[in-house]
Structure 1
Amino acid sequence: MFRRVLISSSWSLFEIMHVGTTIQKFFGLLPDEAQLAQAPPAERAFTNLHIHLPPNFGSIRSIEEAIQHAAAEKIVVLGSSNYYDHSIYTPFAEAALQAGIVPVFGIEVLTMDEELRDAGTLVNDPKNPGKFYLCGKGLTAFDAIDEDALPIWNTIRQGDRCRIEAMIAALNAVETLQDRNICLRYDAVAQKIAEEKQLPAATVFLQERHLAQALQSAIFECVTPAERRKFLQRLYQTEGEFETEQLVTVQNELRTHLLKQGKAAYVEEAYISPDEAARLIAGLGGYVSYPILIDGAATISPFEGPPEALVEHLLERQIGAVEFIPTRNDIAILSGYVKVLLDEGFVIGSGTEHNDAVWLPLLPACRQKTPLTPELLEVFWKGACVAVAHQYLGAKGQSGFHFLADRAERIAQIERLSQLGAKVIGALKN
């Protein structure tokens, strides 16, 4: 049994006392709930509640590209879950609404549950016990963060920057790289990304994938294609047939052989606790959503399987919302989990992440490009409507989605908020 409580009742019932200007501008000017009740709801449509926008690493190169693809794929609600900095959310909202797409604002946070780590229990990371990803949905104060949560935000940023700088120092000490005068600098890599994405450098917080990309670029500049295989074998200190041309594959192999645990430039990740993550999400005006991995790993983790056990573990932590990245999952397994979670009154969303350099459609689909069933699309539509309603209610100074211990109350809350969210979507699109 995993008894660690994640969100205290004071946080799960968080009353939004302040709202950022972006939410006020786009949601606060809508009619009050009583007036919206008379308006027609939006019809069910495609949604995606989890992508990563620049400057986060990923295949989406700009807001404009994200919006163009979303519009082409007939996605009506599009949500971002960026790490570290949310300066891009205001222009994202402007571009989305101009295209008839309703934005949802989120965050992804990496945490460590020490109790589960010490017990050797995997959660939603396939390799590291206790490593616990959490997301926040429906952020209303990303541009006006609560002062009590700001130190947590700064701890994450500072911890991650220190880790990446230590990894850069370790890479720069590798003799094989020194022989070719390959030397990375944090600010130089960040500046290059900022220029490519046309964003302020201050908004760029480097990730491990950014380092691999920068290192691959530096290697390709000074090591000829004919030399690369032997160079990489010497760099990795192993004989093998390594990719020498395909950029993404080379970047992934650099991560595997240099940046992962036990390798030359590995540095332990900086973690906050799940409770701190929940406080941060509340301070940003959102609610906690658990990203489910299930068969995205070789074996479903003890925390997540079977679905009834996952329900128990989430309820113990006062988490009432979940999300899937269906491209990881077999549709039969995904459908089975959705059925159980829906019956227990969980809000359920889906997304695609787009945190890899390889492009894929924005419309979520299951493994082997299996389309989602109408039943799954309906569930994910309701989940998106709840997130939209939460943002709307925050703009109106009211409490939105929150955890409820009683199953019947959870189900009733989903129905009320999903109906409201559909009307908000309809109002924003008209």
Structure 2
Amino acid sequence: MNVGNTVHEIFGRLPEKAALYSEPALNQPLYTNLHVHLPPNFGSIQSIDDAIAHAKQEQIVVLGASNYYDHTIYTTFAQAAVKAGIIPVFGVEVLTMDEALQAGGILTNDPKNPGKLYICGKGLTRFDDLDDATLVIWQKIRSGDAQRIEQMIDRLNQIDFLGQCEIRLQYDVIAQTVAEEKRVPVHTVFLQERHLVQALQQAIWEHIPEKDRAAWLQQLYGVQNAIEAEDVVKVQNDLRTYLLKQGRAAYVDECFVSPEEAAQLILGLGGYVSYPALIDGAPSISPFEGPPEVLVEHLLERKIPAAEVIPTRNNLDTLTLYVKTLRAYGIAVGAGTEHNDAVWLPLLPHCKRNVPLSDELLSIFWEGACVAVAHQYLQAKGAEKGVRFLPDAAARHSQIQELAAIGASVIATFTN
């Protein structure tokens, strides 16, 4: 079964809207996570089964994947989620470059690169029969990223200090290793920077004795300060910083599409655009995002109807201010954990320093997840409705309320 058929199989079998389970489920918020990266994307989730088992244990009823490059794994994800009584939400994350913001030196949701803008898609329902315009953008992203990673590998292999220790990397070998570790077909693996530094760290561990690693890494980085050589995750992050970032030996310019192309791709995949807000996840809130009303203005200018946050980055008070402001302007808000790091954390979102979410935030995030579920349900049913950008604030509020009620009923029907 292909991914598109999976979506329709899950939601198409449910009753029509008028016959959905009628219990007012919105009155009792349930736990959700709308943004994780599943294997083969880099992260601490070891397998689809691992993700579902943890979600079930943490009583999460809606789990949203935000993978990029290949979505073949979504069929396996969907089937495992349904079996566990969890509703899957299908998403995508796209790296874009806004040239006007770049020219103005304005940071957005990337804390270091002006104009670099992450954009997410939620509620994807079309994967297999895409129109030509969508396919062109999809292939542009995939081929551009694959070429960049291959160039980075070539540049790593040209570093004499690595060559002297017979350390060499190969795209196919790394991809095969990732596929075996994550238990996915190798053709679904599109390597990321983090995959490269993980493979490089493992090669260093194989070739350099433990007692020599700190001094050896110090030479590799070309620094005099003390170097971490025991914490594997820290070593991988340092390798990325000293070798792959701008101005370093293996840096290669990223391949971007424009925000407009990303939005076209997301709509072509049957989803809706969502902005992943960084807020105080950086040393200072970016000009694009602060204060909250400015972020709202930027989203409305770009006709973006939804936003999402990764609360583990944020302080509770700051997060609350932003989420309430976004929702007050008729922008649906969801939350996730991303899980794009090697360190494991719970799937249930929480704020910095393990501060739990307030009931108010849980309610808003539950509503946002219900909106995503409703969008997938309506699209699978062949309805033209779903999440759309509406210029009128009152209309945006009504849309959220209507879709959230449908989504809550879908979840209640699905889980009862």
What is the TM-score when the length of structure 1 is the normalising length?
0.94
- Given residue 123 of structure 1, which amino acid in structure 2 is its aligned partner? T
2:122, 2:272 within 8 Å by CA — same for their partners in 1?
yes
Distance 1:331 1:75 in 2: 21
2:107, 2:287 within 8 Å by CA — same for their partners in 1?
yes
Equivalent residue in structure 2 for 1:292, among 277, 291, 298: 277
Q: Name the structure 1 match of 2:188.
A: 203
Q: Name the structure 2 match of 1:252.
A: 237
1:11-160 → structure 2 map (5 Å cutoff) = 20-36=4-20, 38=22, 41=25, 43-160=28-145
Q: Name the structure 1 match of 2:407.
A: 421
* Secondary structure in structure 2 of the residue aligned to 1:301: coil
Distance 1:56 1:125 in 2: 19
2:65, 2:90 within 8 Å by CA — same for their partners in 1?
yes
- Once the two structures are TM-superposed, the CA of residue 40 in structure 1 deviates from its matched residue by 5.8
> Deviations 1:267-308 (Å, cap 9, x if unpaired)?
111100000000100111000000000100111011100001
- Once the two structures are TM-superposed, the CA of residue 147 in structure 1 deviates from its matched residue by 3.1
- Once the two structures are TM-superposed, the CA of residue 148 in structure 1 deviates from its matched residue by 2.1
- Given residue 298 of structure 1, which amino acid in structure 2 is its aligned partner? P
1:144, 1:284 within 8 Å by CA — same for their partners in 2?
no
* Secondary structure in structure 1 of the residue aligned to 2:169: coil
* Secondary structure in structure 1 of the residue aligned to 2:334: strand
Distance 1:427 1:188 in 2: 45
- Once the two structures are TM-superposed, the CA of residue 145 in structure 1 deviates from its matched residue by 3.1
Evaluate the alpha carbon distance shift between residue 230 and residue 51 of structure 1 in structure 2; reply closer, same or farther with a 3 A threshold: same
1:348-427 → structure 2 map (5 Å cutoff) = 348-398=333-383, 399-427=385-413
Q: Which runs of 4+ in 1 moved over 4 A?
A: 37-40
2:21, 2:412 within 8 Å by CA — same for their partners in 1?
no
2:21, 2:410 within 8 Å by CA — same for their partners in 1?
no
1:41, 1:426 within 8 Å by CA — same for their partners in 2?
yes
Equivalent residue in structure 1 for 2:162, among 160, 173, 177: 177
Is it true that 1:216 corresponds to 2:189 in the alignment?
Answer: no
Distance 1:429 1:147 in 2: 37
1:97, 1:429 within 8 Å by CA — same for their partners in 2?
no
Is it true that 1:188 corresponds to 2:202 in the alignment?
Answer: no
Distance 2:274 2:184 in 1: 28
> Deviations 1:67-119 (Å, cap 9, x if unpaired)?
11111111111000001001111111111111111110000000000000000
Distance 2:22 2:101 in 1: 49
State the identity as a percent: 61
1:215-364 → structure 2 map (5 Å cutoff) = 215-364=200-349
* Secondary structure in structure 2 of the residue aligned to 1:24: helix
Could you say what the CA RMSD is over the residues aligned between the two structures, in angstroms? Answer: 1.1
- Given residue 25 of structure 1, which amino acid in structure 2 is its aligned partner? E
* Secondary structure in structure 1 of the residue aligned to 2:187: helix
1:159, 1:270 within 8 Å by CA — same for their partners in 2?
yes
- Given residue 44 of structure 1, which amino acid in structure 2 is its aligned partner? P
> Deviations 1:329-371 (Å, cap 9, x if unpaired)?
0100011111111110010000000000000000000011100
- Once the two structures are TM-superposed, the CA of residue 38 in structure 1 deviates from its matched residue by 4.2
1:40, 1:426 within 8 Å by CA — same for their partners in 2?
no
> Deviations 1:147-178 (Å, cap 9, x if unpaired)?
32011111111111111111000000001100
- Given residue 30 of structure 2, which amino acid in structure 1 is its aligned partner? A
- Once the two structures are TM-superposed, the CA of residue 144 in structure 1 deviates from its matched residue by 3.5
Distance 2:191 2:331 in 1: 34
Distance 1:47 1:312 in 2: 27
Range 46-55 or range 96-105, more displaced: 96-105
Distance 1:326 1:121 in 2: 23
> Number of aligned pairs?
412
* Secondary structure in structure 2 of the residue aligned to 1:68: helix
* Secondary structure in structure 1 of the residue aligned to 2:33: strand
Is it true that 1:162 corresponds to 2:180 in the alignment?
Answer: no
1:22, 1:143 within 8 Å by CA — same for their partners in 2?
no
Q: Name the structure 2 match of 1:16.
A: none
1:86, 1:143 within 8 Å by CA — same for their partners in 2?
no
- Given residue 286 of structure 1, which amino acid in structure 2 is its aligned partner? G
Structure 1: which 5+ runs fail to align?
1-18
Distance 2:293 2:222 in 1: 45
* Secondary structure in structure 1 of the residue aligned to 2:133: coil
1:292, 1:304 within 8 Å by CA — same for their partners in 2?
yes
Distance 1:20 1:207 in 2: 25
Distance 2:315 2:181 in 1: 36
Structure 2: which 5+ runs fail to align?
none
What is the TM-score when the length of structure 2 is the normalising length?
0.97
- Given residue 49 of structure 1, which amino acid in structure 2 is its aligned partner? L
2:21, 2:413 within 8 Å by CA — same for their partners in 1?
no
1:164, 1:207 within 8 Å by CA — same for their partners in 2?
yes
- Given residue 415 of structure 1, which amino acid in structure 2 is its aligned partner? Q
* Secondary structure in structure 2 of the residue aligned to 1:394: helix
> Deviations 1:209-254 (Å, cap 9, x if unpaired)?
0000000000000100111122111111111211112211110110
Distance 2:165 2:209 in 1: 12
Evaluate the alpha carbon distance shift between residue 124 and residue 98 of structure 1 in structure 2; reply closer, same or farther with a 3 A threshold: same
Work out which structure has the larger RCO, using CA pairs closer than 8 Å and 6 or more positions apart in sequence: 1
- Given residue 16 of structure 2, which amino acid in structure 1 is its aligned partner? D
* Secondary structure in structure 2 of the residue aligned to 1:134: strand
- Once the two structures are TM-superposed, the CA of residue 200 in structure 1 deviates from its matched residue by 1.2
- Given residue 296 of structure 2, which amino acid in structure 1 is its aligned partner? V
Distance 1:186 1:379 in 2: 42
- Once the two structures are TM-superposed, the CA of residue 22 in structure 1 deviates from its matched residue by 1.1
